[in-house]
Amino acid sequence: MMRRLVISLLLLLASAAVCCADDDIHALTPSDSIIARLDSVAASMDTIADKDHWKKVIFRHGWSINDTSIVYPPVLDFGAKTYRWLNHALNYYDTTYVVNPGKTSGKKWKIMLKNDNWIDFYSGHLGKWRTYVQMNSDVTSLFGFQICGMGLSFTYMINARDLLAGRFIRNRRLQFSFTTSRIFVEAYYRKHDQSTLHLHWLGKWHGDEIFSGLKRESYGFDAYYIFNHTHYSQAAAYCFSKYQKRSSGSLLAGIYASHQDVVMDMSTLSDELKTYLPNKVTDYRFRYRDFGFLCGYGYSWVFHHGWVYNITFAPSIGYRHSFPNSIEGKKSLLSTNLTAKMALVRTAGNFFYALTANHEGHWYQSRQHSFYNSYSNFDLTVGFRF
């Protein structure tokens, strides 16, 4: 560059002046320190003159956050270094046990066809544990697709049963999950308005009666740490973003919080069934909030190349606060809940196929009542990495 040539000439002249003494002219040979200074100044001026050099490198050769040869501006450089450090600290695996298909094959995106089926189940005892009650919802079946990659995801599902019946879906469900090698976080929101259930037990009565007096709203989150995080991947079984090569398991421990609000209006029952209710009470509401700790274990069994079977079991215990408008008013109780998962995953090249099941249960227990409400779902997934 012309700028570098001019600087070189100036430094050479300066060195010549220093080397002249007693009218004797010595050889104009710059020292090593002057040459080093020359290169440093020239490089700095080149960088200043071309502030967008990093953009040109990305445009010509492609971009990767893990490419350390790209020189970013200070703010972006700090962000890139921070991300690389966190990614190594939170998302490191022993590649003899777990691999990331996005790194090994460059396939960072997935498209999946999904069939999601879920059912609600309710059971317990009313009125000093005297009257047993049991009911369950119909199976809600959703069909759709999901596209995800680079930490982003888009899902579109339709309720096949309501579509065929010409009705709008009344059940709402939102779900969020975040996973690294060390940490798994899952949050949810579910609301069931005017749900139709099948009543099977009420005291001494046993049969199958349609019950439309139940409403339910629930939300919460689970967050746990995976201790054997270098050898065991929860994401390999349930997010399909990793690939488990060898069998391994891990202890899981963390925290949870949840809010449950189940309203049962028994006044919608027939006069015959009302006679089985304790003390002729027709309004039951279990509204409470939980906080506590969960501890469990997850294990992935690789029984054949490309196949993995996972089972995860995580009971929890903590503090429960019931609200004033609950069936027993404001109370402090012991919280006991259960989360269990199971998955069977087959990987064949860029294709993968999965069957997954999940059960989430909340048990309310006091001297007057016991009530277990649960949510269970079963998913079938066919996916392709690209």
Q: What is the pLDDT of residues 121-168, one digit of tens each?
A: 999 999 888 899 999 988 888 899 999 876 677 788 787 766 655 555
Residue 60, in any domain of the structure: no
Query: Which of 1-10, 102-111, 245-254 is the most confident on average?
Result: 245-254
In a domain, 69, yes or no: no
Same domain? For 202 and 117 the reply is yes
pLDDT score of 344: 98
**Residue 27 domain-assigned?**
yes
Question: Within the chain, what is the greatest distance between any pair of CA atoms?
Answer: 126
Same domain, 141 and 4: no
Q: Are residues 369 and 285 in the same domain?
A: yes
* Angle between helix 32-49 and 2-19 (nearest 10): 150
Using the 3D structure, point to which of 49, 66, 87 is the last residue of a domain: 49
Mark whether 134 and 2 lie in a shared domain. no
What is the pLDDT, as a whole number, of residue 203? Answer: 92
Residue 360 covered by a domain: yes
**Chain centre distance of CA 158:** 22
Residue 14 lies in a domain: yes
Average pLDDT value for residue range 281-293: 95
Strand partners, 300: 248, 310
371 or 279: which carries more pLDDT confidence?
A: 371
In this structure, is residue 138 part of a structural domain? yes
Nearest to 361 by CA among 322, 329, 314, 325: 314
Is residue 358, in this structure, part of any structural domain at all? Answer: yes
Segment 291-323, tens digit of pLDDT: 999 999 999 999 999 999 999 999 999 999 999
The percentage of residues in the chain with a pLDDT greater than 90, rounded to a whole number, is: 55
Q: What is the number of domains present in the chain?
A: 2
* pLDDT for position 372: 96
Q: Does 79 reside within a domain?
A: no
Q: Cα–Cα distance between 265 and 245 in angstroms, integer?
A: 51
Q: Identify the bridge partners of residue 262 per DSSP, sorted by sequence position.
A: 216, 286
Residues 108 and 23 in one domain: no
Range of the domain at 202: 99-385
Classify 88 as helix, strand or coil: helix
Half-sphere exposure of 65 (CA within 13 A, CB side): 14
For residues 182 and 286, membership in a common domain is answered with yes
| Residue 157 neighbours by CB under 8 Å, 6+ apart | 114, 116, 142, 143, 144
C-beta separation of 343 from 307 below 8 A: no
CATH number at residue 272: 2.40.128
Contact 308, 162 (CB under 8 A): no
Other beta carbons within 10 angstroms of residue 202's beta carbon come to 23
Retrieve residue 131's tokens: 């009257």
Predicted local confidence at residue 169, as pLDDT: 53
Sign of the Cα pseudo-torsion (318, 322, 327, 331, in order)? positive
Residues 111 and 182 in one domain: yes
- CA dist 307 and 141 (Å) reads 26
Residues 108 and 31 occupy one common structural domain: no
Average confidence score pLDDT of the chain: 83
Q: What is the pLDDT of residue 39?
A: 55
**pTM of the predicted model as reported, rounded to 2 decimal places:** 0.77
Is the pLDDT at 55 greater than 80? The verdict is no
Same-domain pairing of 329 and 248: yes
